[in-house]
Structure 1
Amino acid sequence: MIDQATNIKVRSAEVCGVHFEVEPLAFNKGFFSVDMTFFFKVCVAAYQAPGCPPVCLEGLATFSKKVILFGSEASVRTFSTDAALAQTCGNAPIVNVQVVDPMVLASRVCPCCPPRPRRFAPPQEIACQFDGCFHEVCAERELCITLGLFSIVQLMRQVQIMIPIYDFCIPDKECTAQDNTDDPCELFRKIAFPTDEFFPPRLADLESNS
């Protein structure tokens, strides 16, 4: 479909999974390298001919990123019913990544010179999100997209902290409503007029709140 399309537009892109590899750094005590592979589900519209309705396609795009973060050290082994904590055997911290859906910045169709077969086998939990199967394809053209992605990467550990605990506070007074009335018009008169709803904020207001 990509080889025969006259025009291709990217409609949406979303993160469908992230895989991690955490390794301690040899000469930096307490630091870890986190290799992340982001998997994106991309929806595109492929136009086969002018004036014809487009064909909607879903494809898989990947992006790899490596960061080095301080994760401290630990000499204990954690065993828990939580699957995430059970994987923290040894001194490796837990990796947590928060991402928002990416923004499509640009896209272009590039020729493959010469046409080469594609061998790509994504993880099973990623492949099951797509219809069909991933197999070797000899493509003449490929769709390259540029995505803008915001992410926060964290290394987490369990620590022991002390928090003061107070006894239950049982209320001994009854809360009584003030100015009880059954007149809805009387209640409406006490509501302030929503002036801000009728006037959009100015540029100076937005900059002061940012």
Structure 2
Amino acid sequence: MSKCSYTEKTKDECIIANKVYDQCRQQDCIEKLAYSALAPEEPINPPNNAAAVIIVPNTFGIGGIFLVNKSPNLLRRGYYDIELKFSFQYELQFRDGSGNPIGANVPARSLFNKKVSLFGSTGTDVNVYSDFGGFSNLQVAPFVLVEASSYPLEATLGYTIPITSGDNPPVPNSVNVTIGLFTIIKLFRLVNLVVPSTGFCKPKKCEEIAEDPCEYFNNLKFPFDIFDPPQKEDFFGNEDDDEDDEENTQEYLEEDLGNE
């Protein structure tokens, strides 16, 4: 581990940092039409004999996150309205009534717009310059940072008429996809902060890799965990503090009622 102190004394240091002024998290279950990745304005048109459709494993991902709008909220001072656009890319595979693939995989995409309002404080028209990098109007509005993780949940066929039994089954005319999206959105500014410091970090000596692969392997710790899979409580742990608080509250109430 790096030694981050030349002295035991602590002093205040002024640093330049990206300070987060506000942030929020959200999980969205999104149902969207699938559009052609080659012709973005055209919805996917399934084969007439398609009975099912799946999102091909390992082809799904976020193709891009774009800032559509960042503007001051007209009703709440210091708040900013943020609109983001998410582009999801994946491949579809159509299957017939026997479960056999129909043709080649089809590249597709879906779009999702998200709006949030976050506190970003107020700024002024100040130009900032550094030879590390030039910035213009740095203090006017905060910067946006987005972290996202998405998962394909389902793909289904859409029909021109409801599915009914008969000699002439309905023909599919669209593909609907369901996507799970976890998002964290932050507003931050470049500011000066005073922080306690014990000095500069002193890096440790680099560890050289042994040329002999057996020497490297024999020095590794024995991986007991791969032979003894973790139990449920070890695997999940305390994933959500809110859930822990609710459980503790429930236990407290039960004990309190039992003592009455």
Coarse TM-score class (shorter-chain normalised):
0.5 to 0.7
The structure with higher relative contact order (CA 8 Å, sep 6+) is 2
1:67 maps to which residue?
116
Identify the residue that residue 18 of structure 1 maps to in structure 2: 65
Q: What is the Cα deviation at residue 49 of structure 1?
A: 7.1
Change (3 A) 1:60 1:31: same
Indicate the residue corresponding to 1:198 in structure 2.
Answer: 227
Of 141, 158, 165, which residue of structure 2 is paired with 1:92? 141
2:46 equivalent to 1:2? yes
Number of matched pairs: 169
CA-based RMSD of the aligned residues comes to 3.9
Q: CA deviation at 1:48?
A: 5.8
Provide TM-score, normalisation by structure 1: 0.64
Determine which of 79, 90, 103 is the counterpart of 1:31: 79
Q: Normalization by structure 2: what TM-score?
A: 0.53
- Where structure 1 has 5 or more consecutive residues not aligned to the other structure, the ranges are 114-139, 176-183
| CA distance in 2: counterparts of 1:3 and 1:42, whole angstroms | 18
Deviation at 1:89, TM superposition (A): 5.5
Given candidates 179, 183, 192, the residue that maps to 1:160 is: 192
Cα 1:198–1:146, aligned 2, differ >3 Å: closer, same or farther? same
What is the alpha-carbon distance in structure 1 between the residues aligned to residue 220 and residue 200 of structure 2? 39
User: Deviations along 1:62-91, whole A, 9 cap, x unmatched?
Assistant: 011111111111114345689x98476562
Runs of 4 or more off by more than 6 Å in structure 1? 167-171
- Contact 1:78 1:85 (8 Å CA) reproduced: no
| 1-structure distance, mates of 2:221, 2:200 | 40
Identity %: 23
What corresponds to 2:183 in structure 1? 151
Aligned pair in 2 of structure 1 residues 203, 165: CA closer, same or farther (>3 Å)? closer
Deviations 1:164-203 (A, max 9, x none): 58478699xxx9xxxxxxxx99xx6x98765444211122
CA distance 1:209–1:46, shift in 2 (3 Å): same
